[in-house]
Amino acid sequence: MKKDGSCLEGSIAKIEPKAVTIQQSGKPGVTIQRSELLQASQGNSLLFSARSSWADVEAVHLLPRESFAIRLRSAKTIKTIKGRPIHVTGDAFIFKRWIWSKKKYPKNQIVTVDYLRLEPDSNGFDYFAQEAPALLFFYPEYYDGLGGLEGKVPVRLYDALLPEDDAALKCSGR
């Protein structure tokens, strides 16, 4: 989705520091400048977001081995919490500390929230998974997933220093 509300669907052909090229089926690639890009996603999972939105934080559905990285402000230092909350509310994160206790981190103490999502599978892995799943045994990326060694992509969803934009996103017909 671009900042003007228009959307493009397709696979990401190339990522550069200042631009992303999207390959739509049957069409030439379209290059979008990073300054024009609002969000990029793969399925229901965000890969990039250029806005600060608590609504986006609440909307994340964490898959196994995905988590949040939360930076908190305190009087002396900035503390980072990584983990899977048991609940995200409109004004806080709630984590389980022990079997019997919970810890609440209020939104007004949070500086940033990053969604640590799993790195997308490579095109080669997707091809093998569809065409020859029995051969995945010979594909190294298969073992990374089994052992929990796959990479993670941090996606900044909320930054207290930026204006908050919780508006619902909808693609326009442009």
* Residue whose pair of structure tokens reads 């599978």 in the numeric block: 121
Does residue 169 sit within a domain?
no
Does residue 173 sit within a domain?
no
The whole-model pTM stands at: 0.75
What is the secondary structure of 128-166 as a DSSP string? HHHH-GGGGGG-HHHHHHHHT---EEEEEEEETTSPB--
Q: Do 99 and 116 belong together in one domain?
A: yes
Q: Which residues pair with 20 in a beta bridge?
A: 15, 32
Burial of 23 (C-beta count, 10 Å sphere; 0-12/13-18/19+): middle
Q: Do 77 and 116 belong together in one domain?
A: yes
Q: How many domains does the chain contain in total?
A: 2
Tens-place pLDDT, residues 78-101: 677 777 788 888 888 888 877 788
Q: Do 51 and 126 belong together in one domain?
A: yes
Residue 105 has pLDDT above 80, yes or no: yes
Q: Do 80 and 153 belong together in one domain?
A: yes
Does residue 55 sit within a domain?
yes
Q: Do 15 and 51 belong together in one domain?
A: no
Q: Do 64 and 108 belong together in one domain?
A: yes
Does residue 80 sit within a domain?
yes
Q: Do 68 and 132 belong together in one domain?
A: yes
Residue 15, domain extent: 1-37
Q: 114 pLDDT band (50/70/90 cuts)?
A: very high
Average pLDDT of the residues of the chain = 81
Q: Do 99 and 131 belong together in one domain?
A: yes
